[in-house]
Amino acid sequence: MEMISPEEKQKITEQLEELKSRRPEISQRIAEARELGDLKENADYHAAREDQGVNEARIRQLEERLSKAMVTGQDSVVPEDMVFLGATVKLRNVDNEEEMLYRLVGESSGVFSDEVIEVTSTSPMGTSLMRARIGEVIRVDLPRGTKRFAVIEIVA
């Protein structure tokens, strides 16, 4: 079971609705291309059918993901000083004293920012961060060695 934040669920739902809204447009493209005649050599028809297949596959993927996902987040059940899915946390690297902001997410959004680094809950950093508390030092086993980070504060 995948854990996602309420914000991630909202984004997935919006993507799903947008893909579903494209169905009539793609069907119309197929119908118009079909009217042109010979389907064997009709590039417009084949391109529209391929778009339809890709669109439907993505719809199925998102629907399955939503059906198997558990929505979690910072709520009254989680102590205020505990890191949980959806939290943005300030960490200090114990070795070099560098401080950075990390956001714990269920799946990466693909949007990269200089201010906040997204880490998935299944990554080594995410696994170490999950349920860590303010003031605690976490250990992260990375391919290039072990790093230690102090949890300074939960920003959001």
Task: List Cα–Cα distances, 93 to 13, 83, 132, 155, in angstroms.
Answer: 36, 17, 15, 17
Q: Write out the residue limits of the CATH 3.10.50.30 domain(s) in the chain.
A: 88-154
Q: Which CATH architecture has domain 2-71?
A: Orthogonal Bundle (1.10)
Q: Is the pLDDT of residue 51 over 60?
A: yes
* Tens digit of each residue's pLDDT (9 = 90 or more) over 75-128: 545 577 788 888 899 999 999 999 999 988 877 777 777 889 899 888 899 889
Q: CA-CA distance, 114 to 116, in Å (whole number)?
A: 6
Say if CB 137 and CB 94 are below 8 A apart.
Answer: yes
Say if CB 90 and CB 22 are below 8 A apart.
Answer: no
pLDDT of residue 55: 95
Q: Which CATH architecture has domain 88-154?
A: Roll (3.10)
Q: Which two tokens stand for residue 125?
A: 């950093």
